[in-house]
Amino acid sequence: MFNRNKLLLSTFAISMCATTLAHADGLADLKTALTRLQGQTPLKAVVEAKTWNRQGEGKDQEETHGLASVSVEESPRGLHVLYSKDMLAKLEVEERQREKDKKAKTPTLSALNEVNSSALRPMISAAGSLSRSLEKANFKSEKLDVFNGKPARLLNFEMSMDKLSERERKYLKKFDGQIDVWIAADGTPFASRLTQAVSGRAYVVISFEMKNEEEWIYGTVGDRLVALKKESKNSGAGMGEKSEGKVTKTLQIQAL
């Protein structure tokens, strides 16, 4: 009886190990989820963008703020981006102000590029955007973690200069990049964070350095992965100038 129980326990342990290992490959689970979540479920949402930029130092320092929002709808007919009458009116006023005074504050114009169709694609089709980022990185590690109080797996990737284009590598002397992705048990992304720090020299005498960080919060609409929030921070220095900026975009799902 003892040997039989021991055999049963060993079989159970092996089975449990096999089950654990089957679910321990977070990279495979993530890739499967990203493929599954590149769907075409109809979507309607409001996207708001807030921008902040600071250029220069001291008395020459310039600071700008931006705020813009659009309604977005994607269906089998295509992508529609709707600018409200209120926003169009603000654009008209700011354009007139800029014609009179180049230093006039134009918050809507400043944020306009963040809500055009190309900038919105990564928000409403986030699986493809995340997949392309991971193609430029090498998987390094996986560990158990928690995200917003939920059990999660944290996958870490290291970005390699070798995977940058020849044009991107041309002037770089130092490059450090990391991507962290928090995923659920089935591989669905909860969030991701990308950090990059680069330095280099252009035209022999011009040295520069830049830092960039992106944080994404994801959600799903049917078989579609969307970015509910994206926050980007950047800073840089070169040619005696310093700059820094921040862009925060949020996506609110609307009923169809």
Burial annotation 28-67 (CB, 10 A radius, 16+ → b, else e): ebbeebbeebeeeeebbbebbbbbbbeeeeeeeeeebebe
pTM: 0.83
Instruction: Output the pLDDT for position 21.
Output: 39
pLDDT in tens, 67-126: 999 999 999 999 999 999 999 999 999 999 988 888 788 888 889 899 999 999 999 999
Edge-first strand listing for the sheet containing 137-147: 78-82, 62-75, 43-55, 241-253, 224-238, 206-221, 189-202, 172-183, 150-159, 137-147
> Is pLDDT above 50 for 5?
no
Percent of the chain with pLDDT over 70: 86
Instruction: Output the pLDDT for position 22.
Output: 40
Instruction: Output the pLDDT for position 17.
Output: 39
* Range picked from 166-175, 199-208, 220-229 for highest mean pLDDT: 220-229
The token pair at 203 is 């035209």
Instruction: Output the pLDDT for position 160.
Output: 77
Instruction: Output the pLDDT for position 15.
Output: 39
Average pLDDT of the segment spanning 167-192? 89
Give kind and range of the element (H or E) at residue 108: helix 107-111
